[in-house]
A and B are shown apart, each in its own frame.
Chain A
């Protein structure tokens, strides 16, 4: 098998490595991926990484426990900055999730073969990011045990949620997103769970994977309906993923706060979400392929394509920043003009400059192929972009809220140790879930890799 390319590829991609390393057969891809879960001994590195993440997850539990005992006063939030870290982190995490759905749904509809080996763990990343995101608005309510009030159920109070409020739209958007992402992920997993059932080494594994596989037997009629359902899910998830960050941006743009009330927010939030999501996929993919020797499956071509998506969405985000800036000045609205000056010269100006550096300037290095194919550079870049995207949400929320209309109502915001503990704690939870996932479920879709074997071998005949 030589390094031939699918016909739809552009010439410059074709020069590079294929989407699947040479010489693979149905059983070799099955063996290699299922061995990570079934037969390979758990490495000492896995235990160290997991325990580290698990202890940070413990910090999250302490932070939330203390919050429930004392209330949101332990955070740095105040009036006028009622949102603070909780909403910054919520928007950041939910944005990260978007790349998983983009890879699994949109690239599937566009028939991009390079999605195959990265979609499974990108979808898992989506689920875990949504889980982390969901924690924040929940605990930010102050009384999370009343969270069910946000759902329309026939209550004794006889009232309904305010369906005209973006915050209720958020409840529906995020819970739908979480549910559909889970469905998509699980449907993709069913055939692989059957593979694990059939190859399991112990009775316990056979029973657990067998129950999860629900008796999947690969029958042609089942596959036929399965493919319909999968295609439909991809078609449904595509507008969904665009809607989720749009709705999140409505939380801001429906309000009249300077710097929030702008029509560019929905598209630029979606682009930013995909930007940070791809950065996170790269952050996970690079150590994953190294640790489990998956360089044949997650090739340089995947990394380079992801870097290109990052560059493209990063430019959309830069365009968003520029027009946000321009429209504020062009509108002549004194509060908007003031906001721009606050961003450039106000007390939080260093955050704004750091954001421009991380999100716009440094990623321009991705124009060079040498940079896109350098694993270390790419890994560092992905972290820089995620820091940048976090700063973006900080700038949007904190600068606008600290100084809006009346100077008498101005304030300052600085996070407390509990804000940091909660934020870093969710990172621990995220990493812990990723560690568990790669250990107990196939991190790459085995069934789709077999299809890829057929397709790539047909091309070399």
Chain B
């Protein structure tokens, strides 16, 4: 049953309740594992903290997108009306900034939203058609009603038999290895 280590992606275990997974994730972290990931059918409260995740980059990317959209939107209207095609209409100011606000506002929202979504997908590495975790034979439950944790083989502390035993000790069901291909 034991195969060459390079073909193993990791060891996966399954839980029925989200609280069990949060508990296990914290224990795995305490045990010194770093490369492990949880898979859940919905965002579980407390899990990011248990896994030691800190803030992510999505808000910053969104802020930058919004600033680019807003400044770019206003700047473009300014340039178009003041430099590119100035039109003197009864001596009114070329930079009639209040009239530029609606378009500036809409472009701020548009660029910020696109950055939030594309940034989230890029950071998550999506779209990614295949991933070794899909080889886990009960993994389709991860999108329905089961909560999984997988300790990856690239972790320094990883040892197939011991890691599997460790997961079993955490009361995980169906502990099994996940293959790479």
Contacting residues of chain B (22-78) with chain A, CB-CB under 8 angstroms: 25, 37-44, 47-48, 51, 53, 56-59, 62, 66, 76-77
Q: Contacts A163-B99, A236-B116 known; A173 to B106 CB distance under 8 Å? A: yes
Chain B residues, Cβ within 8 Å of A223: 40, 42-44, 47-48
Cβ–Cβ contact A176 & B110, under 8 A: yes
Whether a CB of chain A sits under 8 angstroms from the CB of B168 is no
Known: A187-B117, A236-B116. A450 touches B42 (CB 8 A): yes
User: Are B56 and A228 closer than 8 Å at their CB atoms?
Assistant: yes
Q: What is the minimal beta-carbon distance from B72 to any residue of chain A, in angstroms?
A: 11
Task: Give the distance to chain B from A172, nearest Cβ to Cβ, in Å.
Answer: 4
- Residues in A with CB closer than 8 Å to B43 are 223-224, 226-227, 451
Q: Determine chain A's interface SS by DSSP, over half rule.
A: helix
14 pairs, CB–CB < 8 Å, chain A vs chain B: A27-B145, A158-B85, A172-B103, A172-B106, A176-B109, A183-B113, A187-B117, A195-B41, A215-B131, A219-B37, A220-B25, A225-B57, A243-B102, A243-B105
CB of B126 within 8 A of CB of A229, answer no
Known interface pairs A195-B143, A198-B140, A232-B116. Does A152 touch B124 (Cβ–Cβ under 8 Å)? no
Per DSSP, chain B at the interface is: helix
Known A-B contacts A199-B140, A232-B112, A236-B113; A226 and B42 likewise in contact (beta carbons under 8 Å)? no
What's the nearest-Cβ distance from chain A to residue B85, in Å?
6
* Chain A contacts for B127, CB-based, 8 A: 214-215
Contact indicator B44/A220 (Cβ below 8 Å):
yes
Would you call A323 an interface residue if the criterion is a C-beta within 8 Å of the partner chain's C-beta atoms?
A: no
Interface check B88, CB cutoff 8 A: no
Q: Quick check: B131 and A220 within 8 Å, CB to CB?
A: no
A448 CA to B25 CA in the complex, in Å?
22
A356 to chain B, nearest CB (A): 31
**How many residues on A have C-beta within 8 angstroms of the other chain's C-beta atoms?**
60
Instruction: Report, nearest first, the 5 A-B pairs whose CB atoms are least far apart.
Output: A214-B127, A26-B145, A229-B120, A164-B99, A198-B140
In the complex, are the beta carbons of A217 and B131 less than 8 A apart?
Answer: yes
Q: Which of B67-97 contact A (CB under 8 A)?
A: 76-77, 80-81, 84-85, 96
